[in-house]
Each structure stands twice: as structure tokens, then as C-alpha cells.
């Protein structure tokens, strides 16, 4: 599976600033976006745009993701507590409020992802320890409801979606453990832990991939048949708390992170 013909390339220009966009990189309608602080950077025509574009009303962007062709952003306050979810209006580069997050769901250190018309908030900091809760927002109905709790408490975890499964990895308080929620079975299933902690999970070509973690160049792909993580071509730079996403033309892209700051790499099929 770790084909020597695959190689990480650095032909995408560096970001204008050093950033740690953990969970804040996504392709939306064929365009690559990176959220950092109160700015949304866009890769367009071979260059990054948005360095001077500060989003009104936003303190910090915590998550950027796509759901059914639309882009969404979750913001947090200066203490890390999640506040609201916005739809990202590509044409005008503006945010439209989708929903304010209910008080009981406003934990610190939550992660967000979209899937099949729903937005999921995962983990966070509970009291006095981490949280295992997962909450779902139905975009069409405009309604919130909790779903079955994870097996582990996680803060600032990494998320990926493949088919009808949500994969959750690492995060503070959970080490390098991985689990997935099966929509069909409505239950959480343990996955073998990744090699590194604080890595970034991504869905690439229908497979689960873990990149970086602990300043590592490590990349590994999960083989569902054997239940093992298999080595994959290493990145050029070690990084953690970086952003990662896959594109519709099967590129796996990693951006920034501690140890790599403003560098961008991509792996192509």
C-alpha cells in the first residue's frame, strides 16, 4: 500500500502566514480554503488570497468543512468555547449565520464536521474532565439533538468521514486512540490506534489516512481488512496541529502546523 511511486510535492505556494489550522482546511466547490484566526484564506489561480480580509464578528475560526456542496465555519471565543455555525458564502466571501450553538453544547475544545445534511460537534472539555458527547444539527430541520456518546473523552480531536462512518482520532486526553461511529449500526467501534498522537485524520480515495503528529513526518493508511495501519510515503516536513483535506481530484493536502508553519504539501494519485 505504501507505493514508492507516490511522493509528497511542494508545488503549492506557502501560506502568507504561519498557522496551525487544525480542522480548518477544506475544499469547498473545488476551491481550497484555510481558516485561521478571523481570516479565511482561499487558494485561487495559483496564489493565496485573504491575508487582509478579516471576518466581521468572528474571534477565532475553529472548524471549516463542506457538507453537500456548501461550506460551513464554526467559531469560538478567546477561551475556546464554541459559539455559532455559519454558512460560508463563496461568491461574496461572507458568513451567514446558520445557528447559534445551544448553551448546553457550548463546550471548549469541540471539533465539527458535516455529513449527509447534518453537522456534528464532537468531544470538548467537560467538567471536571474531557467530554465524550456528540451533538448533531440537522441543517434542513434546524434542530439539535445529542447522539450516542463516544467510548473516549476527547478535546480538539481530529475528524474524517468515509461512506456512513465518522472517524474520530486522538485529541488531548485520548492519546492516539481512534474510533468510528457507524450510522447503520448507530454505535461506536474501536479502531487500532495511530502511531503518533495529535495526528490529522483524512479520507483519501475511500481510505482513512493519518498525517503527522508530535512533529512527525509520519503518514499511515488504515487497512480495514487487516485492521492495521500501514506505512505510507512520509511528508517532507514534520508537523502537528496542521490542517488536512482531500480534493475531488484525489489530492491529499496538508497545511501549516507546528514544525511546518506556512508550508503546504500535496500527495497525488
| Spatial distance between the Cα atoms of 195 and 193, rounded to a whole number of angstroms | 7
Please report the pLDDT score of residue 171 as a whole number. Answer: 87
Sign of the Cα pseudo-torsion (70, 257, 75, 205, in order): positive
Structural domain includes residue 2: no
For the segment 183-189, the average pLDDT, to the nearest whole number, is 94
Reported confidence tier of residue 126, pLDDT bands at 50, 70, 90? confident
Please report the pLDDT score of residue 5 as a whole number. Answer: 77
Structural domain includes residue 78: yes
For the segment 122-139, the average pLDDT, to the nearest whole number, is 87
Q: Which domain holds residue 206?
A: 9-268
Structural domain includes residue 135: yes
Structural domain includes residue 3: no
pLDDT over 80 at 21, yes or no: yes
pLDDT over 60 at 128, yes or no: no
Please report the pLDDT score of residue 4 as a whole number. Answer: 54
Please report the pLDDT score of residue 232 as a whole number. Answer: 95
For the segment 255-268, the average pLDDT, to the nearest whole number, is 96
pLDDT over 90 at 247, yes or no: yes
Reported confidence tier of residue 98, pLDDT bands at 50, 70, 90? very high
pLDDT over 90 at 240, yes or no: yes
Structural domain includes residue 75: yes
Structural domain includes residue 1: no
Reported confidence tier of residue 127, pLDDT bands at 50, 70, 90? low
Reported confidence tier of residue 49, pLDDT bands at 50, 70, 90? very high
pTM beyond 0.85: the answer is yes
Structural domain includes residue 4: no
- 8 A C-beta contact, residue 60 and residue 76: yes
pLDDT over 60 at 257, yes or no: yes
- The CATH code of the domain that includes 49 is 2.120.10.80
- Strand-by-strand arrangement of the 94-100 sheet: 60-67, 70-76, 82-89, 94-100
Work out how many domains the chain is built from and give that number. Answer: 1
Structural domain includes residue 33: yes
Amino acid at each position: 500500500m505504501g507505493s514508492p511511486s507516490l511522493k509528497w510535492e511542494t508545488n503549492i505556494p506557502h501560506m502568507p502566514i504561519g498557522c496551525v489550522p487544525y480542522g480548518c482546511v477544506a475544499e469547498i466547490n473545488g476551491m481550497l480554503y484555510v481558516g485561521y484566526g478571523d481570516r479565511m484564506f482561499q487558494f485561487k489561480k495559483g496564489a493565496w488570497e485573504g491575508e487582509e480580509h478579516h471576518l466581521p464578528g468572528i474571534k477565532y475560526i475553529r472548524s471549516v468543512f463542506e457538507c453537500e456542496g456548501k461550506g460551513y465555519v464554526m467559531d469560538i471565543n478567546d477561551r475556546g468555547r464554541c459559539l455559532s455555525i455559519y454558512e460560508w458564502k463563496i461568491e461574496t466571501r461572507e458568513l451567514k449565520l446558520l445557528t447559534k450553538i445551544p448553551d448546553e453544547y457550548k463546550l471548549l475544545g469541540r471539533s465539527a464536521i458535516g455529513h449527509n445534511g447534518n453537522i456534528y460537534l464532537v468531544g470538548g472539555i467537560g467538567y471536571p474532565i474531557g467530554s465524550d458527547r456528540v451533538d448533531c444539527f440537522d441543517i434542513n430541520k434546524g434542530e439539535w439533538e445529542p447522539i450516542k456518546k463516544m467510548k473516549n473523552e476527547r478535546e480538539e480531536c481530529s475528524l474524517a468521514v468515509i461512506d456512513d462512518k465518522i472517524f474520530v482520532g486522538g485529541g488531548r486526553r485520548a492519546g492516539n486512540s481512534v474510533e468510528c461511529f457507524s450510522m447503520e449500526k448507530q454505535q461506536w467501534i474501536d479502531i487500532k490506534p495511530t502511531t503518533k498522537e495529535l495526528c490529522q485524520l483524512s479520507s483519501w480515495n475511500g481510505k482513512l489516512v493519518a498525517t503527522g503528529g508530535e512533529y512527525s513526518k509520519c503518514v499511515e493508511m488504515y487497512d480495514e481488512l487487516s485492521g492495521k495501519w500501514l506505512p505510507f510515503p512520509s511528508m517532507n516536513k514534520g508537523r502537528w496541529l496542521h490542517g488536512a483535506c482531500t480534493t475531488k481530484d484525489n489530492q491529499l493536502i496538508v497545511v501549516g502546523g507546528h514544525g511546518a508553519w506556512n508550508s503546504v504539501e500535496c500527495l497525488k494519485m
